[in-house]
Chain A
Amino acid sequence: MKRTILVVDDSPFVYHQLKDMVEDSDYEVIGSAKSGEEGLEQFRQLKPDIVILDIIMPGIDGLETARILMEENAEVKIVMLSSLFDANLLTEVKKMGLKFLLPKPLEKDVLFATLALLEH
């Protein structure tokens, strides 16, 4: 059975990029949301295995969305995405208990390496 992914990003670019990248793989993008608020709703409805979450978004940002998701579901697997990926942000992400922050634009090899790590 394919592992399911929810993409939360205000730009459809990442959603389309991801859909193309996971085609013919063990993963499937089952939904997308354009804001943190919409992402939380979609997560509750779709119950995906993995959430790919952008940090800079209008409304509640990705870090706050991740915090709420982890509060609601301790088992949730989250991969953060950002065009900004400096040392301070990495520290902030780690402090929250998040393990993965990928730089934009997404690279296929990096994405699959991260997805593989998520399984362990």
Chain B
Amino acid sequence: MSVQVNVVQTFVDSLISATEEIVDFPLEYRKESIKILDTEEIHIQSEGIFASKMCFQLEHSLVEEILKRMLKHKKLTSDIRDLYLGEYINILSGHALTRINNIIGKSSRLTVPIVGAGAIKEKIYKQNCVIAFTSEYGDMLLHINYEWNEYL
């Protein structure tokens, strides 16, 4: 990879700014690792120059606050719950991937997010990172398994 991309910093900046835009509260990056229990998982993948599998783990209390803010005064029904949560993750991932694509000048594309465990590509990529965030409503972990497709 001739152009260097700091994957962790790119995701940190993107997730913090996108969260502020969507739900208007601050996420804080934590350098030290954290352990969170009682989480919801959302999976999303990217294909192209930055091939990745991303797993977002959000504490339930954080999910509830995000949904409350996205829905404003609308009633939350079980059928739209996952769609709203998926959209939040789609926007976060999209912002990060946009920055990566613009730095490299090549394309990666996102898949549709999947809320819940499993149903993800079996392929294991070479590199891994885990990024931790905290907020007044709960914590979030992002696991990224990725590699650069140099030949694209």
Query: Contact residues of A with B, CB < 8 Å?
Result: 10-14, 16, 20, 56-58, 82-89, 103-105
Contacts and interface: CB of A to CB of B under 8 A. Distances in A.
Interface residues of B, number: 29
A89 B70 CA distance: 27
A16 B107 CA distance: 30
A87 B22 contact: no
A56 to B, nearest CB: 6
Given A16-B74, A83-B95, A11 B107 contact: no
Nearest to A89: B107
B106 interface: yes
Contact of A83 (B83, B106, B110): B110
B87 A84 contact: no
Contacts, number: 67
Chain B binding surface SS class: helix
A14 B72 CA distance: 13
A82 B94 contact: yes
A49 to B, nearest CB: 25
Contacts of A20: 72
